[in-house]
Amino acid sequence: GDSVTQMEGPVTLSEEAFLTINCTYTATGYPSLFWYVQYPGEGLQLLLKATKADDKGSNKGFEATYRKETTSFHLEKGSVQVSDSAVYFCALGITGGGNKLTFGTGTQLKVEL
Amino acid sequence: NAGVTQTPKFQVLKTGQSMTLQCAQDMNHEYMSWYRQDPGMGLRLIHYSVGAGITDQGEVPNGYNVSRSTTEDFPLRLLSAAPSQTSVYFCASSYRGRNSGANVLTFGAGSRLTVL
């Protein structure tokens, strides 16, 4: 079946540091890939997405590139802020699969001054 | 816009009690679903619906029932609560896909359930 593997957290960084959160996937079809973010006490919200190989999703300074050859969708940000502290989830969904997303376990990010 | 509204936000139950988690969306989304979030396990799909009157099981459906009588509402029922159902529950909705790729989900704020 489909699966998503994320690096375990928590990840603790100083403000303005570079962030990478690794995500790899296994899928039987040709998936779309997502990063969702969950701020404390809130539901998940979409951070970025990519629907085909070599697509780059970007939002709020975060980027991720759909790499079909390595089945990866790593999340990066050049300079993190304290306000980026949250839990980040990588997810995949199959076209026409509706809302049946497969999520990774989540990576908690803590950014300190 | 309210988006996806879940109630209650917090609930404590005793083993064997029943309850319903409510979910309502005002975006006229066709798809709705329920996930549970547990530490170290990410989100797992419990049940989903592709439209009013149509529901199906997800990855972890045991112990839960759903129905979808209207487009707006998708309640999740626990018939006889067990400690293993202690979790945070999220309702999500989305449009039927009109563009390439899987749908983007809109999530509610979550309902934290503790079963003693």
CA A109 to chain centre: 12
- Whose tokens are 């540091």? That residue is A17
Which B residues in the span 34-73 are in contact with A, Cβ-Cβ below 8 Å?
35, 40-45, 48, 50, 58
Q: Does B2 touch chain A (CB under 8 A)?
A: no
Report DSSP state, residue A61: T
Report DSSP state, residue A96: T
B36 → chain A, closest CA residue: A103
Q: Does A105 touch chain B (CB under 8 A)?
A: yes
Answer yes or no: are the C-beta atoms of A26 and A90 closer than 8 Å.
no
Q: Residue B39's pLDDT is what?
A: 86
pLDDT tens-digit readout, A8-53: 889 999 999 999 999 999 998 789 999 999 998 889 999 999 988 9
pLDDT confidence tier of residue B99, bands split at 50, 70 and 90:
low
Q: Residue B21's pLDDT is what?
A: 98
Report DSSP state, residue A67: B
The pair of structure tokens assigned to B56 is 């199906």
Residue B100 has pLDDT above 60, yes or no: no
Q: Residue B81's pLDDT is what?
A: 96
Residue B48 has pLDDT above 60, yes or no: yes
- Contacts of residue B92 in chain A, CB cutoff 8 Å? 44, 99
Among A46, A95, A105, beta carbon nearest to B40: A105
- Whose tokens are 């919200």? That residue is A45
CB pairs under 8 A between A and B: 81
Answer yes or no: are the C-beta atoms of A56 and A63 closer than 8 Å.
yes
End-to-end, the C-alpha distance of chain B in Å comes to 36
Q: Residue B104's pLDDT is what?
A: 85
Q: Does A57 touch chain B (CB under 8 A)?
A: no
Answer yes or no: are the C-beta atoms of A92 and A2 closer than 8 Å.
yes
pLDDT tens-digit readout, B60-96: 999 999 999 999 999 999 999 999 999 999 999 998 7
Q: Which DSSP string do the residues of B58-109 spell out, in sequence order?
A: -SS-TTEEE--SSSSB--EEESS--GGG-EEEEEEEEPPP-SSSPPPPEE--
User: In chain A, what percentage of residues exceed pLDDT 70?
Assistant: 96
Q: Residue A9's pLDDT is what?
A: 85
Answer yes or no: are the C-beta atoms of B70 and B23 closer than 8 Å.
no
pLDDT tens-digit readout, A53-63: 999 999 999 99
- Contacts of residue A51 in chain B, CB cutoff 8 Å? 100-102
B81 min Cα distance to partner chain A (Å): 23
- Contacts of residue B4 in chain A, CB cutoff 8 Å? 43
Largest separation between any pair of C-alpha atoms in chain B: 45
A44 → chain B, closest CA residue: B107
